[in-house]
Amino acid sequence: MTFLYPKLLALLAIPVILAFWEWVRPGQPLAMPFDHAKVGRGRFWQFLINSANCLPACLLAVAILFLAHPVIFNPPEVERQLTNVQIVLDTSGSMKSPHGPQTKGVNSRFDSAMASIEQFLHHRKGDAFGLTVFSRNFVHWVPLTQDTEAIVLARPFIAPYVFPDEFWGNTFVGKALYGAAELLDQAKTGDRTIILLTDGLSSDIVPPKDSAIIADLRAKRITVFVIFLIDQPVTPSLVGIAQATGGDAWGAVTPEALNSVFKRIDEMKKVVVLEKKPRASDYYDPFFIPALAALGLAILALFGIRYNPW
């Protein structure tokens, strides 16, 4: 605890002097006839009356402490710098294909992607996430939000088997990247990141179309990370888009490899912690009860706890 106006504490000398004077002042002695009777010294009453006379000095001391404005400094608040992450997930029919060893049952590329995404969401709690699903077209299924449960609960509604290939088939990565970039551009604070998960080749990112995509992403200050879910080298144009924006691209043909890729992304996009200065708050509480007690006792003392006037 400290005081905003510590110089006022020097005034505490006044109530200390007043209290000291109450205990040492001789008073006005007066001889009274008691027929030679032996009378006690009355030390208990002397102590009680002197203590009662010191109560106004105690109230003055508390008032001075209030004027000095006691405060405490709360621990510094810790705030993380917000990262806006738009997950762009391929939900074309090929995402139903098996992913990795099937020793523990059927596990599709979509299943692996959603499991790793859910793990990443819980690990990066505090960031804002959105979900864009795409194939022939794209849908911003979940806008940027810190309520990541909305993405987890979307799983049964965005699975590849929900929409027929005649309506939803094919893979257009470039169209999805343009849409996700436009959505991220609305975020006024924090970093902007796209995590693209796909298993298909796309005709709308081949040179020279990739140059326009890179220019758009750079203009919007968006970093792109690409995860390729098939046992083939990552498409060179996807690698170029990712690296040109400050990100990277990886292949992940097993769930374990996919989890490792998300760990790499987490390391590349480290959480930035912003520490604020300690915040001062009033700290009158310890003085309220003593002040009320002294005030109540002083009022009671006025009803007769005093020396006789003779």
For tokens 């604020």, name the residue.
276
Query: Over 80: is that where the pLDDT of 22 sits?
Result: yes
For the chain, the average pLDDT equals: 86
Judged against a pLDDT cut of 80, whether residue 35 lies above it is answered with no
- Please check whether residues 53 and 94 belong to one and the same domain: no
Query: Which of 112, 246, 88 has the alpha carbon at shortest distance from 171?
Result: 88
Confidence of residue 30 (pLDDT cuts 50, 70, 90): low
Residues 243 and 257 in one domain: yes
On whether both 267 and 203 belong to a single domain, the answer is yes
Which residues on neighbouring strands pair with residue 86, listed in sequence order?
A: 130, 194
> What distances in angstroms separate CA 127 from CA 64, 80, 83, 145, 300, one per listed residue?
48, 8, 5, 8, 60
Please give the DSSP secondary-structure letter assigned to residue 6.
Answer: G
CA distance 135 to 197: 11
**Any domain includes 221:** yes
Kindly state whether residues 240 and 213 are assigned to the same domain. yes
Are 68 and 100 in a shared domain?
no
Specify the pLDDT at position 76: 61
Query: What pLDDT digit, counting tens, does each position of 148-204 carry?
Result: 999 999 999 999 877 777 678 788 999 999 999 999 999 888 889 999 999 988 999
| pLDDT for residue 189 | 83
30 within domain boundaries: yes
Confidence of residue 80 (pLDDT cuts 50, 70, 90): low
For residue 168, what pLDDT is reported?
81
Find the domain containing 138 and state its range: 78-274
Instruction: Give the confidence band of 27 by pLDDT, cuts at 50, 70, 90.
Output: low
170: closest CA among 198, 141, 205, 200? Answer: 200
Tell me: do 65 and 134 sit in the same domain. Answer: no
Q: Higher-confidence residue: 109 or 190?
A: 109
Average pLDDT over residues 259-267: 91
Q: Would you state the pLDDT for residue 126? A: 80
Report if residue 309 sits inside a domain. no
Closest by CA to 151, choosing from 187, 185, 197, is 197
For residues 42 and 99, state if they share a domain: no
CATH of residue 154's domain is: 3.40.50.410
Q: In this structure, are 156 and 214 located in the same domain? A: yes
pLDDT the model gives residue 212: 95
The pLDDT value recorded for residue 29 is 61
Determine, yes or no, domain membership for 157: yes
Return the minimum-mean-pLDDT range out of 114-118, 248-252, 297-301.
297-301
**CB-CB contact of 179 with 138 (8 Å):** yes
| Judgement on whether residues 120 and 268 belong to the same structural domain of the protein | yes
Say if residue 182 is in the same domain as residue 235: yes
As for how many domains the chain has, the answer is 2
CA torsion 168-170-171-177 (nearest 10°) is -50
Q: Are residues 133 and 68 in the same domain?
A: no
For residue 306, tell me if it sits in a domain.
no
**What pLDDT is attached to residue 201?**
87
Q: CB-side exposure of 117: number of CA atoms within 13 Å?
A: 29
Residue 127 domain flag: yes
In a domain, 70, yes or no: yes
Torsion angles phi and psi, residue 150, rounded to 5: -60, -35
Higher pLDDT, 121 or 80: 121
Residues 288 and 155 in one domain: no
Given a cut of 70, whether residue 304 has pLDDT beyond it is: yes
Residue 199 covered by a domain: yes
